[in-house]
Amino acid sequence: MSFETKPSSGHVFWLFGLSGAGKSTLGAGLAGKLRAAGIPVLALDGDALRQGLCAGLGYSDEDRAENLRRAAETAKLGLASGLCVVASFITPLQCHRDLVTGIIGRNYLSLIYLDAPFEVCRRRDAKGLYARAASGQVQQMTGVSSGFEAPTVPDLLLHTGADEIAASMAQVLAFARSRLSGNKL
Ligand SMILES: Nc1ncnc2c1ncn2[C@@H]1O[C@H](COP(=O)(O)OP(=O)(O)OP(=O)(O)O)[C@@H](O)[C@H]1O
Ligand SMILES: [Mg+2]
């Protein structure tokens, strides 16, 4: 029995970028729109996985890779079940993006980069992490004490540091529509 069965309608939308770039905000928005259109969705968010499936992993490059490997394998199972997957993970290094791509494959994966400048994310500090990193309470903070490599050619680039949420949502929705032709989205 093969586990390589190709899904007919699923797709993985993998949102990545700095903490505070808007992955969870846009990921939840996209998942909601897909569901409202009757498209079954598996939503995977970094914070939720780290509370369960990936509990015990830290933030070294290696642990981040293992976190992402588990996330990508989960996404692949969702895809094989015909689901759309919306995955929101920092995915900081090119080798991490390559790992995800190697697991899921290129055909049903879109890598969506949320490009918000570090200073904007630090000022937003949506979860207070940048303040805690500055005072030494958080180690290996992406963009502070742990690396982030901007991608060269993402499938979609969103300027979430400058654009309003509604504008970014409209762009990601239009992109999703283009990848899910045949579905009413
Ligand atoms: N264009 C935009 N797209 C998304 N979020 C935006 C945008 N403009 C402003 N924001 C704000 O930026 C913040 C992004 O926070 P969010 O929790 O979504 O980031 P995140 O990328 O999931 O971070 P983390 O990696 O820490 O989970 C929210 O407060 C959101 O309202
Ligand atoms: Mg988030």
Q: Check residue 181 and give its pLDDT.
A: 80
pLDDT digits (tens, 9 = 90+) for 113-146: 999 999 999 999 999 999 999 999 999 999 999 9
Given a cut of 60, whether residue 6 has pLDDT beyond it is no
For 61-73, the pLDDT digits (tens) are: 999 999 999 999 9
Please name the helix (run of DSSP H) or strand (run of DSSP E) that holds residue 64, with its range, or none: helix 61-80
Joined tokens for residue 124: 């937003």
Does the C-beta of 77 come closer than 6 Å to ligand 1? no
Q: How confident is the model at residue 7 (pLDDT cuts 50, 70, 90)?
A: very low
Q: 49, 63 in Cβ contact below 8 A? A: no
Give the ligand 1 atom nearest the CA of 19: 25
CB proximity list for 98: less than 8 A, separation 6 or greater? none
Q: Is the CB of 23 under 6 A from ligand 1?
A: yes
Across the range 147-171, mean pLDDT stands at 97
Q: Would you say 32 and 131 are in contact if contact means Cβ atoms under 8 Å apart? A: no
- Expressed in angstroms and rounded, the spacing between residue 17 Cα and the centre of ligand 2 is 10
Please answer whether residues 149 and 111 qualify as being in contact, where contact means their C-beta atoms are separated by less than 8 angstroms.
no
pLDDT 10s digits, 27-71: 999 999 999 999 999 999 999 999 999 999 999 999 999 999 999
Task: Give the nearest ligand 1 atom to 17 CA.
Answer: 21
Ligand 1 contact, 86 CB (< 6 A): no
* pLDDT tens by residue, 91-105: 999 999 999 999 999
Instruction: Report the candidate in 7, 6, 9 with the shortest Cα–Cα distance to residue 185.
Output: 9
Identify residue 163 by its one-letter amino acid code: D
Instruction: Indicate whether 20 pLDDT > 60.
Output: yes
Mean pLDDT computed over 13-22 = 98
pLDDT at 4: 52
pTM of the predicted structure, to 2 decimals: 0.95
Q: What is the pLDDT of residue 59?
A: 95
